[in-house]
Each structure stands twice: as C-alpha cells, then as structure tokens.
Amino acid sequence: MGSRHRFVAIIGLMLALLFSSVTVPAQGPSTTGDWGSLRNLPTDSKLVVKVKSGKTVDGKLTSVSESSLTVNSKNTQVEIKREDVASVYSVIRKSATSGTLIGMGLGAGAGAALGATAAATDDSDFDKFDQAAVAGLAVIGAGVGAITGYLVGKRGNKRVLIYESK
C-alpha cells in the first residue's frame, strides 16, 4: 500500500510542476518605433502591414528604404510610404513543441491516474500486473496527449509586432 501512496504523490508533484506558471521573456525588437528594425528582416518574410487609413496589406517583404516599404501582395508589388504605415507585424508559424509537451504531460497524468484508480479498486494479489497496467496506461495517455497537443499547437500563425509609428 505504501508504493501506491508514493506513486500518487509523484503524479501529484508532476501535475503541480506542469501547471506552475512559467514566465518567458518576449523575443523580438525592444523598441517598436524603429524603422531600421524592418531592414533586419529577411526578404520574403511574411508581413501584415496596417496602414493609417485602416487598410491592411498582407504579403511578403520585397524591400525596405528610408522612405517606404515594398510588399508583394497577391502577385502585385505594393509600395507603402513610411508616413502611411501604422504598424508592421511579422507572421511566424507557431511552434508545436509546447503544445506537444503539455499534451504529453496531461495525457500521461490522466492515464496514470486512470490506471492507479483501477488498480486501487482491485483487491487481487496481482500487484506487479497492476503496476504494469498503470505504467502502460500512462504511456498510452502520453502518446495520445502528445499527438493531440501537436495538432492543437501547430494550428495557426503568430503575429509579432516589428514596427509601430508614433
């Protein structure tokens, strides 16, 4: 019976660590009012440019000069003057790593909890079999959770503010 309490304590600790808050510093330029930061972007970077008139231009970066920004939008070169630009966002594909790891942790925890619950209600003398079943359900849960986390985490794109006029 002592090993079951230890197992439940370990699962509880793993879940507490999984759900603890973690702060990650923002990545990207420290000042968004610097037009020069646009020059550091590679050509063909996906951008979303919001113009002061309210219009939005989606496309790939072609060139940047001191006075304008040129974007290839729907196979058409669009030149936007610097004074007309309200903000510029870089469009980046989301990473599925964090979603995969969170899903794997949740799946493993759920599988282990399910297995531990089933083993706790079993009064037979098959303790080694019960432990193997708990471990097996934890592994299956981790796999299902990882796949689900990957699929959910990979959807969509992330916008990162590169420039905003003052």
> What's the whole-number average pLDDT of the chain?
79
* pLDDT tens profile 11-32: 766 666 666 555 444 444 445 6
Q: Domain range spanning residue 68? A: 42-85
* pLDDT tens profile 42-81: 888 899 999 999 999 999 999 999 999 999 989 899 999 9
9 and 52 in a common domain: no
The count of C-alpha atoms lying within 13 angstroms of the C-alpha of 76, restricted to the half-sphere facing its C-beta, is 6
Q: Specify the pairing of strand 68-73 against strand 56-64.
A: antiparallel
- Two tokens, residue 24: 């990650």
100 and 68 in a common domain: no
Structural domain includes residue 37: no
- Two tokens, residue 33: 């009012």
pTM beyond 0.95: the answer is no
109 and 81 in a common domain: no
* pLDDT tens profile 149-165: 888 877 777 888 988 98
- Residue 85 phi/psi, 5-degree rounding, is -80, 125
69 and 99 in a common domain: no
- Two tokens, residue 45: 């970077």
CATH of residue 63? 2.30.30.100
Q: Helix or strand or coil: residue 130? A: helix
